[in-house]
Structure 1
Amino acid sequence: MARAAALVAGGGLLLQCLYCCSLLAAAAGAGGRYEALFNFGDSLGDTGNICVNMTAADQLLLTVAHPPYGMTYFGRPTCRCSDGRLVIDFLAQELGLPLLPPSKLRGADFRRGANMAIVGGTALDFAFLESIGLGYPVWNNGAMNVQIQWLRDILPSVCGGGAPPGGPRCRAHLAKSLFVFGPFGGNDYNAMLFFGFTTEHARNYTPKIVDTVASGVEQLIQLGAVDIIVPGALPVGCFAVYLTFLPSSNPADYDEYGCLKPLNELSVYQNALLQRRLAGIRERHPAARIIYADYYGHVERMIRSPARFGFRDGAVPACCGAGGGRFNFELDARCGMKGAAACPDPSTHESWDGVHFTEAVNRLIAEGWLRGPYCHPPVVLH
């Protein structure tokens, strides 16, 4: 339990687009630009919320606040879980918007966007996780409904003139904004699987996770959101963190790439349910553009054919670590800890720290959303 608790304190989980973006293309590609960008989710999208308002002493315990995190683009740690930019950073830059400030940053200008995502973010509320015996504090960083409340809290400053959430001025502004809602669910499974649940037990909660995400999409629409990207789950069975801490003694549980099939099947199940729920939302809200982003499909292709995408190694070996274990990932030898170092060229690796992607992967994912082939048709920016 102590090993699992220390492990999950470091971060959450990962993104792309298979069903997708004809309506988004109409909004963004036909000469228009979004006025703002709003992001929700976990450590895949956190641009600093986990560090905002932390004391220096607290940050000493947070691996993402230490080198070599941030080395590739920023030249220093920015509390992003990567060597450089995240998918949301590339989206902002391509859309001509500033990099998103963390929503918990006091005094920030949120008129052109804000980031509600936070390391440890879950779909299910902390009280529910506590009720099923999963009350470790990291899951209380900011569940989905908490993040939506953070948006509500800043909307008067976003919309100007103290305009209330849901009012005409705010609705007009949000209708010209792009929302990225998720991924959610990764940390819910982390809370379960790292603390003793089997994949079969965790699967029982997948419908609740998906229903919760769908309710969040509905809440954004009620506030005035029109264009909403909803990413699905990743092939997490191919990540070093799971292969290290949830190994199987049954060879049949591994595919030809060394990935854990039961974990990937859990992601496939969530994605199937999510797409069905999003289809229902589209029917109820025909004016909204609900875009399913297929993280799984693109990342799986990178794992199966790394050289095709310019990578030397697949998603399993971590670029950054202290030489621990088979995958350069161990609890006491993680990236950001004493003795940890990055590989010579992170751009040739898919996995940054055994949990999150390198900037190079994040760039490809963003391009897949904006230009295809994982958005059909691609979003054409002018």
Structure 2
Amino acid sequence: MQIGCRGTMRTAWPLLLVATALLSTSAERGRRTCRFPAVFNFGDSNSDTGGFWAAFPAQQGPFGMTYFGRPAGRASDGRLVIDFIAQAMGLPLLSPYLQSIGSDYRHGANFATLASTALLPNTSVFVTGTSPFSLGIQLNQMKEFRNRVLASKGNNGQLPGSEILGDALYTIDIGQNDFTSNLGSLGVESVKRSLPSVVSQISWTIQDLYSSIGARSFMVFNMAPVGCYPAFLAGLPRDSKDLDEFGCVKSYNGGVTYYNQLLNDSLAEVRKKVQDASVVYVDKHAVTLELFQHPTAHGLKHGARACCGYGGGTYNFDRDVYCGDSKVVNGEAATAGACADPQNYVSWDGIHATEAANSRIAYAVISGSYSYPPFDLSKLCSP
């Protein structure tokens, strides 16, 4: 099957009204009953709700300003897609597995950490920019979590009952760092050669969760169009002829499309092996690409321009002065601060999405319009 959205996002947009109703008030969310009593998430910074900063405390600056009013361990000004999904299901925001203080795991846990890769990284995060908490490590953490749940026998007030493990929704959103971490040094064609291994790791993880944990419901997110990210438009060498009509890098997005097709094909094979499980492919790429290409059609103003950055210009991104940082540049103090209106931006910091963009992506995901097989979360919950 050729991947992609069934119809354009603008024609599917009315379907999102159903999901919007699910995200109304916290009181209504608290009364909602959903098929899934818990969510277990695996991933990178696109779904990290505080794991990386629990392990390496340092987050500061304007992160979290829109929703939390302070840095909240997320690479955004507010909530992530996984936050909106949890809230739509009437669940609390997921506690990071690595967070030792204030966590509540009765409704799931988040194993995602910023800079994580699907494949095992070679060296330290401080050398390569990739996290030590790769997908294999996150899987092992889930198995240890399972062991603690079984050992507690329901007597630990911060842990779920063992029955939740089989009934929970398992979400996987990883692979972007495997693709982007070597783009500058190797180029897109060399990076593409490693992508089958990335996809194999994700597919193997699903099968391991199925057999060892009893997981039966999976949502697997594909990769967003990194060729539209301000960080890669401003920070990596490229040929101006390699830009499409929307200003995105064609070769990068072509590599992403190749990866997404590999992932979709691999998940089709996984379904044959776990026939009593639901393995859903989520086309985050189509939704995000639409936001970058037509931001004003969805109530936004800026596509490939960072809200939080330094340098101004088309992209407002400087790889040496990242969001929240203050440095001396050419003898003068430089600070990468946030814009006053993140609700008008797709990109928060040049790499990650704003809460405004995340909410729109989440609505599309919840509606099931961008999933294969169709997976309408809004119909799995009742007031």
Q: Same fold (TM over 0.5)?
A: yes
Where does 1:322-333 land on structure 2 (aligned, <5 Å)?
322-324=310-312, 326-333=314-321
Match of 1:93 in 2: 87
2:284, 2:365 within 8 Å by CA — same for their partners in 1?
no
Q: Does 1:180 align with 2:167?
A: no
Match of 1:11 in 2: none
Where does 1:162-177 land on structure 2 (aligned, <5 Å)?
172-177=163-168
Structure 1 residues 231 and 53 mapped into 2: Cα distance closer, same or farther (>3 Å)?
closer
2:51 to 49, 52, 65: 49
Mapped to 1, the partners of 2:149 and 2:315 lie a distance apart of 44
Mapped to 2, the partners of 1:237 and 1:351 lie a distance apart of 13
* Equivalent residue pairs, number: 337
Q: TM-score, normalised by structure 1?
A: 0.82
Letter in 2 for 1:228: F
Match of 1:104 in 2: 98
Per the TM alignment, residue 32 of structure 1 is displaced from its structure 2 partner at its CA by 4.1
2:280, 2:375 within 8 Å by CA — same for their partners in 1?
no
2:360 to 351, 358, 364: 364
Q: Does 1:294 align with 2:283?
A: yes
Letter in 1 for 2:109: A
The C-alpha deviation readout for 1:40-71, integer Å capped at 9, x for no partner, is 1101111111111435xxx1xxxxx1121100
Letter in 2 for 1:187: N
1:126, 1:135 within 8 Å by CA — same for their partners in 2?
no
Match of 2:11 in 1: none
1:18, 1:292 within 8 Å by CA — same for their partners in 2?
no
2:309, 2:349 within 8 Å by CA — same for their partners in 1?
yes
Match of 2:218 in 1: 228
Structure 1 residues 171 and 282 mapped into 2: Cα distance closer, same or farther (>3 Å)?
farther
Structure 1 residues 187 and 69 mapped into 2: Cα distance closer, same or farther (>3 Å)?
same
Structure 1 residues 261 and 37 mapped into 2: Cα distance closer, same or farther (>3 Å)?
same
Structure 1 residues 134 and 161 mapped into 2: Cα distance closer, same or farther (>3 Å)?
closer
Q: Does 1:217 align with 2:206?
A: yes
Mapped to 1, the partners of 2:281 and 2:343 lie a distance apart of 27
Mapped to 2, the partners of 1:309 and 1:103 lie a distance apart of 34
Structure 1 residues 244 and 281 mapped into 2: Cα distance closer, same or farther (>3 Å)?
same
Mapped to 2, the partners of 1:317 and 1:135 lie a distance apart of 27
Per the TM alignment, residue 94 of structure 1 is displaced from its structure 2 partner at its CA by 0.8
Mapped to 2, the partners of 1:305 and 1:74 lie a distance apart of 28
Per the TM alignment, residue 100 of structure 1 is displaced from its structure 2 partner at its CA by 0.7
Mapped to 2, the partners of 1:172 and 1:67 lie a distance apart of 41
Per the TM alignment, residue 206 of structure 1 is displaced from its structure 2 partner at its CA by 1.0
Q: Which runs of 5+ in 1 are unaligned?
A: 1-16, 20-24, 60-64, 164-168
Per the TM alignment, residue 201 of structure 1 is displaced from its structure 2 partner at its CA by 0.6
Letter in 2 for 1:245: G
Match of 1:113 in 2: 108
Match of 1:8 in 2: none
The C-alpha deviation readout for 1:280-334, integer Å capped at 9, x for no partner, is 11111111000101011111111221111111111x1001123355311002332
SS at match of 1:141: coil
1:110, 1:158 within 8 Å by CA — same for their partners in 2?
no
Mapped to 1, the partners of 2:227 and 2:162 lie a distance apart of 40
Q: TM-score, normalised by structure 2?
A: 0.82
Mapped to 1, the partners of 2:66 and 2:169 lie a distance apart of 27
Per the TM alignment, residue 348 of structure 1 is displaced from its structure 2 partner at its CA by 1.0
Cα RMSD over matched residues? 2.6
2:190 to 194, 201, 225: 201
1:171, 1:225 within 8 Å by CA — same for their partners in 2?
no
1:110, 1:154 within 8 Å by CA — same for their partners in 2?
no
SS at match of 1:291: strand
Structure 1 residues 262 and 97 mapped into 2: Cα distance closer, same or farther (>3 Å)?
same
Match of 2:117 in 1: 122
Q: Does 1:84 align with 2:78?
A: yes
Q: Does 1:259 align with 2:248?
A: yes
Match of 1:346 in 2: 342
Structure 1 residues 377 and 89 mapped into 2: Cα distance closer, same or farther (>3 Å)?
closer
Mapped to 2, the partners of 1:299 and 1:185 lie a distance apart of 16
Structure 1 residues 337 and 275 mapped into 2: Cα distance closer, same or farther (>3 Å)?
same
Where does 1:20-59 land on structure 2 (aligned, <5 Å)?
32-54=34-56, 59=58
Q: Does 1:355 align with 2:351?
A: yes
Mapped to 2, the partners of 1:120 and 1:377 lie a distance apart of 28
Identical-pair percentage: 36
Moved beyond 4 Å, runs of 4+: none
Q: Which runs of 5+ in 2 are unaligned?
A: 7-18, 23-31, 155-159, 327-334
Structure 1 window deviating more from structure 2 (355-364 vs 151-160): it is 151-160
| Larger RCO of the pair (alpha carbons < 8 Å, separation 6+) | 1
1:40, 1:181 within 8 Å by CA — same for their partners in 2?
yes
Per the TM alignment, residue 152 of structure 1 is displaced from its structure 2 partner at its CA by 1.2
